Amino acid sequence: MERKPSSRGRTLRSSKGHERREGEGVRSRLRRFSIGFGWFFLQLIVCASNLVPLDTLAQTSISAPHDVRVFDTPSDGGGSLTVQWAPSSWDGPDARYQVLAGDAAVTDPAALTIIAEFPANSKYVKDAKTAWWTRNVDKTWHQVLVRSAKGFEVKDGTSYAVAVATVQGDQRVFSPVLVASPSPDWFNWNQLNNLIIALSFGGLVFYSISYAKRHEIFLRRIPGLDAVDEAIGRATELGKPILYLTGAHDLHDPSTIAAAVILGKVAKRAALYETELLVPHREPITMAVCQEITKQAYLEAGKPDLFKEDANFFITADQFSYTAAVDGIMLRKKPAANFFMGAYFAESLLLTETGASTGAIQIAGTDSDHQLPFFVTTCDYTLIGEELYAASAYLSKEPVQIGTLLGQDIGKVVVLSAIGIGIVLATVGAVTGEQWPQLFLDLFRDLK
Amino acid sequence: MIFLRRQLPLLITLVTGLLFAAQYYVPHPASEQMLTSATKWLQIVGGFALILGVTSLFHQHAVKIRRQEAGWGYSLVLYVGMLGTIAVGLWTNGKESVEGTMTAFGWVYNYMMVPLQGTMFAILAFFIASAAYRSFRAKSREAAVLLVAAVIVMMGRVPLGEYLIPLSGDVSSWILNVLNSSVRRAILIGVSLGAVALSFKIIFGVERSYLGGGKE
C-alpha cells in the first residue's frame, strides 16, 4: 500500500488500485449526526405547533404606540405638526402604523381622519433632514409630519387632535388623543451651522482685510490679468476697438458685479491709451451701471472728453439674438481685444470662436464651470472660477481687495480640511457603525 | 449731494443686503412674502429699465443710419423688424393665436424668430468641431492629454465606440465621474467663496466701484 499526499485529506491506494479518502469516515459520521439532529429539531417544531397555532407563532401581540408626542414642527414656516413615538418590539413589515388627525374637539381616535399609514419599520427621526442640535428624541423614534393634504387642511393657530394607531391584521390599537396647534417660526435652527459658518467666513474676510492693511501680502501671478495691458496695448497699436462683455446675467449675480468692476479697470486703461471701448449689454440695468463705471474710469484717467455715452449699449435680452449681434460687431469692427467676463451659457463658444476667427486677443473670465472648457480652448487666457473675483484685487493692488483674497484662501484651507476630516470620519462611522462621527458631519450638512 | 450719490446707495445696500441675507434663515411666511414682493419690484424696475435699453438701441442704430456707417443697412433691418413686430403685437393684443388661428404676431414669432434662434444654436455644432480641431492639435503636453481624454470620452459615449473598444465606456465614466467632477467641485468651492466674499464686500461698502463716482 502506497500513500500519496493530497490537498483534501490523504488518499489511500490499495494494492488493487482502489482509492479511498481517509477523511471520508469522519464526514460520514458528521452527516449521520446532522441528519439525526435535523430530525430531532423537526419533531420539536411539530410538538410545539401542537401546543401553539402556527399563524400566531409569527405574530407578536401589539399594543398602542407609547410615548406619543404631538407638537408644532420647530423651525418651519407653519402649517405642520410633528408626531413622534417610541419604537416597539413589534416594529416590522407585518405591523403598520396609522397617524390620524382631526378637529380638536374629537376625543374618539377612531373618528379621526387617517393622514398616513405605513409599515411599522419605516418613518424614523433619522430619515428627517434635521441636525442633532435640534433633535429632542433618539434617532430610532418614529416621526411623521402632519401637513395639509387632500380633504384635510392644517391652518396655523388652529388646534388639531392627533392620535397614532398600531394595526396588525384586523387589530387596531390607538394611542391617547393629543392636541396641538401649528405656528410659523422666526428662525430655522437647523441652519444654525450655515449661519455660523457664513458669519465666521465674513469675520475672517474682514480680519484678512485689516491684516493686509498692515502687512504686505504675496499675490501669485494670474497670466490672464497680466495680459490685460498687452491686449489693450495691441488694440491701441492696431487702432482697433476693445470689445468687453459682462455676461448673460443681471446684477443679482456676483459674477456680473465682478465683470462690472473689472470693466472699470479696463476702461481706465483704454482711456489712458485713448482706445475705443465697446460694451454691448443684454440687460438694461447692467448697462446703466456700467455706463457710470466707464464714465468714472475716464474721469480718473483724466480723459473725460473721450468718454462716449454710447460706449455701453443695449442689444437685446434674447440669448441668440444677442450672440448674433455681437458676432456681427466682431466681424464688422474687428476688435483687437475681446473680453468675456461674467456668466455664460451656450453662446460662449459662438462668441469666442467668432472672435478667434477675427484674430483678436481674447481674455475670458467666468464662474460658469460648464462653459470653462469652451473658453479654455478658444481664448488666449481664461480666468477660471474664483480668479474672476480676484481680478479686481489683482488689477487694483489695493490692500482692502488683496485682504479679501487672503480670507478666501484661508476659507479654502478650512473647507479642504473639513472635507479630509469628513471623509475619514464618515468612513469610520460606516465601518464601525458608531454614531459619534455624525455629530461632526452634521456640522457641515446643508439642512433646510 | 454726496449723500445722495454715495452714502444713501451704500446705506440701502447695507440694509437690504443684511435683510435678504437674514431672510434665508427665517422660515416665517412674512419672510417669504417679503422676498416675493422684492422679486416683483425687481421685475417692475426691470420693465422700466427696458425703456432705457430700447432707447439706447434706437439711438445707437439711428446714429449709424444717419452717418451711413459701415453696415448701416443692418441697422435699417433692425428698425423695420422692431417697429414691424411692435405694430403687429399691438394689432393682435400680443396674442400668438386667436381661436386656434395664428395671428400675424404668432407668425412673426414662429416663422421668423424661432427659426433664426434655431439657426444660431445649430451653428454651435460647426463651431464645436472647429474649436475641437484647433485645441486637439497635440502641440503641447497639456493638449495631448486633452486629446487622449477627449478621444476616450467620445468613444465611451457612443454605442459604436464602446463596441469597438469595450473598456472605453468604463474609462470615460471614470474620467467624467472622478476626474471631471472633482475638478468641477474644486472650482465651485472657489467660486462660492469668491462670491460670498464679494457679497460681504458689497454689503459692507468695502467694494463700491460698481456705484461709479470714484473713492472719497
Tens-digit pLDDT profile for residues B156-167: 999 999 999 999
Q: What is the pLDDT of residue A167?
A: 95
Q: What is the pLDDT of residue A121?
A: 94
Rounded Cα distance, B132 and B154, in Å: 12
Inter-chain touch B116–A390, beta carbons under 8 Å: no
Tracing cell 460647426 back to the chain, one arrives at B126
* Nearest partner of B130 among A355, A94, A130, judged by Cα: A355
CB A189 within 8 A of CB A74: yes
* Nearest partner of A99 among A140, A121, A68, A139, judged by Cα: A68
At what angle are helices A399-432 and A436-443 packed, to 10 degrees?
Answer: 150
- The percent of residues above 90 in pLDDT, for chain B, comes to 75
Contacts of A288 in chain B (CB under 8 A): 49, 52
Q: What is the pLDDT of residue A247?
A: 96
β-strands A361-366, A337-341 pairing? parallel
- From residue A78, alpha-carbon distances to A72, A222, A225, B26, B102 in Å are 8, 50, 50, 12, 46
Inter-chain touch B56–A287, beta carbons under 8 Å: yes
Nearest to A415 among B134, B189, B198 (CB): B189
Inter-chain touch B25–A187, beta carbons under 8 Å: yes
* Nearest partner of A266 among A225, A314, A237, judged by Cα: A225
CB A365 within 8 A of CB B190: no
Question: Around Cβ A415, how many Cβ atoms within 10 Å?
Answer: 18
Residue partners of B145: CB distance under 8 A and separation at least 6 = none
DSSP state of B136: T
- CA B181 to chain A, closest CA, distance in angstroms equals 11
CB B154 within 8 A of CB B168: no
CB A113 within 8 A of CB A101: yes
* Nearest partner of A257 among A367, A133, A118, A383, judged by Cα: A367
- B213 to chain A, any CB pair closer than 8 A? The answer is yes
Nearest to A185 among B28, B54, B56 (CB): B28
End-to-end C-alpha distance for chain A, whole angstroms: 81
Q: What is the pLDDT of residue B71?
A: 84
Q: How confident is the model at residue B121 (pLDDT cuts 50, 70, 90)?
A: very high
For A148-179, what is each residue's pLDDT tens digit? 988 899 999 999 999 999 999 889 999 999 99
* Nearest partner of B46 among A67, A161, A286, A378, judged by Cα: A286
Torsion of CA A194, A197, A199, A201, to 10 degrees: -140
Highest CATH level, class, for A223-396: alpha beta
Q: Name the CA radius of gyration of chain B, rounded.
A: 26
Inter-chain touch A254–B53, beta carbons under 8 Å: no
Q: Which of A40-44, A95-99, B7-11, B46-50 has the lowest mean pLDDT?
A: A40-44
Q: Which three cell numbers stand for residue A186?
A: 422666526
SS3 A280: strand
Q: What is the pLDDT of residue A151?
A: 84
Rounded Cα distance, A151 and A207, in Å: 56
Inter-chain touch A195–B25, beta carbons under 8 Å: yes
Q: What is the pLDDT of residue A5?
A: 38
For chain B, the farthest-separated pair of C-alpha atoms sits apart, in whole angstroms, at 73
Domain boundary assignment for chain B: 1-69, 136-208
For A343-377, what is each residue's pLDDT tens digit? 999 999 999 999 999 999 999 999 999 999 899 98
Q: What angle do CA A359, A361, A364 make, to 5 degrees?
A: 125
For A418-445, what is each residue's pLDDT tens digit? 999 999 999 999 999 998 998 899 898 8
CB A101 within 8 A of CB A178: no
SS3 A245: strand
Inter-chain touch A411–B197, beta carbons under 8 Å: yes
At what angle are helices A254-272 and B181-203 packed, to 10 degrees?
Answer: 70
Q: What is the pLDDT of residue A98?
A: 96
- From residue B40, alpha-carbon distances to B37, B46, B212 in Å are 5, 10, 26
Q: Bigger pLDDT: B123 or B5?
A: B123
Q: What is the pLDDT of residue A19?
A: 41
For B63-73, what is each residue's pLDDT tens digit? 999 999 888 99
Q: What is the pLDDT of residue A20?
A: 43
User: What amino acid occupies position B184?
Assistant: R
**A171 - beta bridge partners?**
A168
Strand A337-341: give its sheet, edge to edge. Answer: A312-314, A277-281, A242-245, A337-341, A361-366, A381-384
Residue partners of B133: CB distance under 8 A and separation at least 6 = none
Distant-in-sequence contacts of B49-55, Cβ < 8 A, 24+ apart: B49/A283, B49/A284, B49/A285, B49/A288, B50/A284, B50/A317, B51/A284, B52/A284, B52/A287, B52/A288, B52/A314, B53/A281, B53/A283, B53/A284, B53/A287, B53/A314, B53/A317, B54/A314
Nearest to A184 among B28, B57, B135 (CB): B28
pLDDT(B147) > 80? yes
Rounded Cα distance, B214 and A297, in Å: 8
Rounded Cα distance, B34 and A33, in Å: 79
Tracing cell 474609462 back to the chain, one arrives at B171
pLDDT in tens, chain A (448 residues): 333 333 333 333 433 334 444 444 555 555 555 555 555 555 544 444 444 444 444 455 788 999 999 999 999 999 999 999 999 988 999 899 999 999 999 999 999 999 999 999 999 999 988 889 999 999 999 999 999 988 899 999 999 999 999 999 889 999 999 999 999 999 999 999 999 999 999 999 999 999 999 998 888 888 998 999 999 999 999 999 999 999 999 998 999 999 999 999 999 999 999 999 999 999 999 999 999 999 999 999 999 999 998 999 999 999 999 999 999 999 999 999 999 999 999 999 999 999 999 999 999 999 999 999 899 989 999 999 999 998 888 888 888 888 999 999 999 999 999 999 999 999 999 999 998 998 899 898 887 7
Q: What is the pLDDT of residue B214?
A: 53
Contacts of A316 in chain B (CB under 8 A): 57
β-strands A96-103, A113-119 pairing? antiparallel
- CA A52 to chain B, closest CA, distance in angstroms equals 56
pLDDT(B89) > 80? yes
- CA B12 to chain A, closest CA, distance in angstroms equals 15
Out of 3.10.129.10, 2.60.40.10, 1.10.150.530, 3.40.640.10, the CATH code matching A69-180 is 2.60.40.10
SS3 letters across A423-441: HHHHHHHHHHCCCHHHHHH
Torsion of CA A18, A19, A23, A28, to 10 degrees: -50
Q: What is the pLDDT of residue B22?
A: 95
Q: What is the pLDDT of residue A39?
A: 56
Question: Around Cβ A380, how many Cβ atoms within 10 Å?
Answer: 18
Residues of B numbered 34-53 whose beta carbons fall under 8 angstroms of chain A's beta carbons: which are they?
A: 42, 45-46, 49-53
Distant-in-sequence contacts of B31-39, Cβ < 8 A, 24+ apart: B32/A77
SS3 letters across A121-171: CCCEHHHCCCCHHHCCCCCCCEEEEEECECCECCCCCCCEEEEEEEEECCE
For A301-315, what is each residue's pLDDT tens digit? 999 999 998 999 999
H runs (alpha helix) in chain B? 2, 8-23, 29-67, 72-91, 104-108, 114-135, 141-157, 159-164, 167-174, 181-203
Contacts of B135 in chain A (CB under 8 A): 376-378
Type and span of the H or E element at A174: strand A171-174
Inter-chain touch A314–B52, beta carbons under 8 Å: yes
Nearest to A75 among B27, B50, B130 (CB): B27
Question: Around Cβ A111, how many Cβ atoms within 10 Å?
Answer: 13
Inter-chain touch B135–A378, beta carbons under 8 Å: yes
H runs (alpha helix) in A239-342? 254-272, 284-300, 319-333
- Classify residue B190 as exposed, middle or buried by CB count within 10 Å of its CB (0-12, 13-18, 19+): buried
Inter-chain touch A313–B57, beta carbons under 8 Å: yes
Inter-chain touch A201–B187, beta carbons under 8 Å: no
